[in-house]
Amino acid sequence: MLSKQTLYKKQAGEYAATLIEDNMVVGLGTGSTVRFFIEMLAKRINTEGLNIVGVTTSSKTSALAKSLGIKLSSVDEVPYIDITIDGADEVDLNFNGIKGGGAALLFEKIVALNAHKNIWIIDESKYHDVIGQFPLPVEVVPYGSYQLLKRFEEADLNPSFRRTATGSRLTTDVDNYIIDLSLEQIDHPKSLAYFLEQIIGVVEHGLFLNIVDEVIIGGEQLKIITK
C-alpha cells in the first residue's frame, strides 16, 4: 500500500502527464515524483499514439524513459523544448525552489532554461513559506573541492560533502562532487545565488529562481499555482 506522500506524488505526476500534447518536445526531470509522470506519459504515448520527444536531465531518467519506449534527444539536438516537467525538493510562496536532491541540478537547470514553459510537480510537504529546510546542493569540480568546503565553513554555510551509502563522495553524471549547505532558512536567495556564482570551482547551485511558471501540488486536493 502506498504512503500518503507517495500517493500525492503520484497524483501530481499523473496530472502533469495530461498536459502533454502531440508533437511536443518535453523536458523530463529527475526524481520520484517525475517517475510517475514519465510512466503515465509512456502509457499515453502507447495508447494514443502521441509523437513525443523527450530531453532528459539525468542518466537515471534516460534509462527509465528508454525502458518505456519514449524517444529521446539531447538538448543540443532539438530546436526548442516546449515544456519541462520536473520535481523540486522545496518550493516557497515566491516560486523560489531548491533542486538537486537527485544530484542532477546542472542538467536540470540547463534543460529548464531552454524550455518555453517549466512546471514543477511536488507533494504538499515540499511547499513552504520560505525555502531552506532542504539542504542546498552545490555542484563543484573535484579539484580544490576541499578548499571550497573550507570557504563555505568560513561563511557559516554548514557544508558537507554528499556521500554514497559506502561513504565515498557522491559524483554527478559528469563526475563532479556535491556539497550540501544546511541552512534551515534562506531569507535572501538571490544574494546567496550571486555569492555562489562568483566562486571559482562552483559549477552550479540548486537555487532555481525566476524559472518555474507553474507548480502542481499533490495533496488531499490537487492544487495548481501559477506565477
86 marked as part of a ligand binding site: yes
Give one DSSP letter per residue of 5-69, joined into a string.
HHHHHHHHHHHHHTT--TT-EEEE--SHHHHHHHHHHHHHHHHH----EEEESSHHHHHHHHHTT
Any binding-site annotation on 167? Answer: no
Consult the annotation and say whether 16 binds a ligand. Answer: no
Please check if 88 is assigned to a binding site.
Answer: yes
Crossing angle, helix 32-48 and helix 4-17, to 10 degrees? 40
Give catalytic status of residue 153 as yes or no: no
Domain boundaries 136-205, corresponding CATH code: 3.30.70.260
Could you tell me the residue ranges of all domains in the chain? 4-129+209-226, 136-205
Query: 4-129+209-226 has which fold?
Result: Rossmann fold (3.40.50)
Q: What is the pLDDT of residue 2?
A: 78
Query: Mean pLDDT for each 10-residue chunk of the chain (227 residues)?
Result: 92 98 98 97 97 98 98 97 98 97 97 98 97 98 98 98 97 98 97 98 98 97 95
Domain 4-129+209-226 and domain 136-205 have a common topology: no
Cα distances (Å, whole numbers) of residue 191 to 167, 186, 194: 32, 10, 5
Query: Catalytic one among 14, 90, 108, 214?
Result: 108
pLDDT score at 186: 98
pTM of the model as a whole = 0.95
pLDDT computed for residue 220 by the predictor: 94
